Amino acid sequence: MSIRVENIEKKFGQFQALKNVSLDFPTGELVALLGPSGCGKTTLLRIIAGLENADSGRVFLDGEDASDTHVRERQVGFVFQHYALFKHMTVFDNVAFGLRARPRKERPVESEIRRKVHQLLELVQLDWAGDRFPSQLSGGQRQRIALARASRRATCFAAR
């Protein structure tokens, strides 16, 4: 999935967080946003994901204007700064959440969900941790779970 942002502006009250930001992320490329703390990296990623509204400017996902698409339909994966794993769910249920949340028609059957979740957990080398709760994992392991959970649509990453 390619991402393009055009002329993004964002103000928090009087504070200008983003000013005229235009960027192009081609499909399949690994891009890192670097900058001092507070320069607006998270804000830009939140706008791309749809968690924040830009004051002006456009977001294109796969060439299509997604500026007015709801977060739910944008199909981006997002790893939160503090991972935001669901505390009360097992690692397995965390990773399965996105699959189970799909509309009934698109939802895979439970055995298919199991297969996919195990595959993702294997990918991050945490297949053994499926029955654990997030609080039982180290910080790095939690990050990998967050990654596995976000990648179930295998589209794009917007990690910190």
Partner 1 sequence: MSSLAVGAASRSADAAALGLRSPKYFEARTATRDPKWVKWTLVTLGVSYFVLFLLLPLITVFYEALRKGWEVYANAIIEPDAWSAIKLTLIAAAIAVPLNVVFGLAAAWAIAKFEFRGKQFLITLIDLPFSVSPVVAGLIYVLVFGANGWFGSWLRDNDIKVIFAIPGIILATIFVTVPFVARELIPLMQAQGKEEEEAAIVLGASGWRVFTQVTLPNIKWGLIYGVILCNARAMGEFGAVSVVSGHIRGLTNTMPLHIEILYNEYQFAAAFAVASLLALLALVTLVIKKIVEWQQTKSIAASQKSAL
Ligand X SMILES: Nc1ncnc2c1ncn2[C@@H]1O[C@H](COP(=O)(O)OP(=O)(O)O)[C@@H](O)[C@H]1O
Residues that bind ligand X (CB under 6 A): 12, 15, 17, 35, 37-43
- State the nearest-atom distance from the C-beta of 10 to partner 1, in Å: 15
Query: Do the Cβ atoms of 124 and 144 come closer than 8 Å?
Result: yes
Binding region for partner 1 (CB under 8 A) out of 23-31, 32-40, 110-118, 127-135: 127-135
Q: What is the DSSP string of 82-147?
A: T----TTS-HHHHHHHHHHTS-TTTPPPHHHHHHHHHHHHHHTT-GGGTTS-GGGS-HHHHHHHHH
Binding span for partner 1 by CB under 8 A among 14-22, 23-31, 34-42, 78-86: 78-86
Residues found near partner 1 in the complex (CB under 8 A): 49-51, 71-78, 80, 82, 84-88, 97-98, 101-102, 132-133, 135-140, 149-150, 152
